[in-house]
């Protein structure tokens, strides 16, 4: 069974900015409290990790870059690219997130 994170249901419908110091529901906080632990769990159980971006009010670019790019900078491995992203409400975010992770991997 894949591990699914629905950000709007499991975290917030109103994601904030990049870092915790910027305000509540930051990308950094999401990564630390939900994304990274679930990624590790999926790895341990050898399951797919699926992130559903739908159901909220939209995302700031810095939230996504800090969450997903930040994850790639921590993991430092192409396996982060195996995460499945669902975004029917804003499909372009799927490409954007892939680009953040790729760029973060190239930079690390």
Partner 1 sequence: MLVPIILSLSIVYLGYRNYKTESFFDINFTTCLSLLIVIWISFVLVEKQTDLRKRKDALADLLTAIQKTVIEKEAYIITENTMTEYLTMRKRGLNNKIGLLKKYGKEFGLEKDIEFLEEKANEYGEIIGNHIDDKTYLSKSAQELQRPLNLIDDRIYEIMLKLY
Binding site for partner 1 (CB under 8 A): 13-18, 22-23, 26, 56-64, 89-93
Q: How far is the CB of 1 from partner 1 (least distance, A)?
A: 30
Nearer to partner 1, 3 or 60 (CB): 60
Minimum distance, C-beta of residue 20 to partner 1, in the bound complex (Å): 10
Q: How far is the CB of 65 from partner 1 (least distance, A)?
A: 8
Burial of 81 from C-beta contacts in 10 A (0-12 / 13-18 / 19+): exposed
Residue nearer to partner 1 on the CB measure, 11 or 42: 11
Q: Please identify, using beta-carbon distances, which residue of 5 and 53 lies nearer to partner 1.
A: 53
């Amino acid at each position: 069974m894949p591990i699914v994170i629905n950000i709007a249901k499991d975290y917030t419908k109103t994601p904030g900015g990049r870092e915790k110091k910027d305000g509540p529901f930051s990308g950094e906080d999401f990564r630390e409290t939900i994304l990274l632990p679930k990624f590790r769990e999926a790895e341990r159980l050898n399951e797919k990790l699926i992130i559903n971006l739908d159901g909220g009010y939209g995302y700031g670019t810095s939230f996504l870059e800090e969450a997903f790019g930040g994850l790639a900078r921590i993991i430092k491995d192409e396996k982060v690219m195996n995460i499945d992203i669902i975004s029917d409400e804003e499909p372009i975010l799927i490409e954007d997130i892939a680009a953040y992770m790729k760029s973060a991997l190239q930079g690390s």
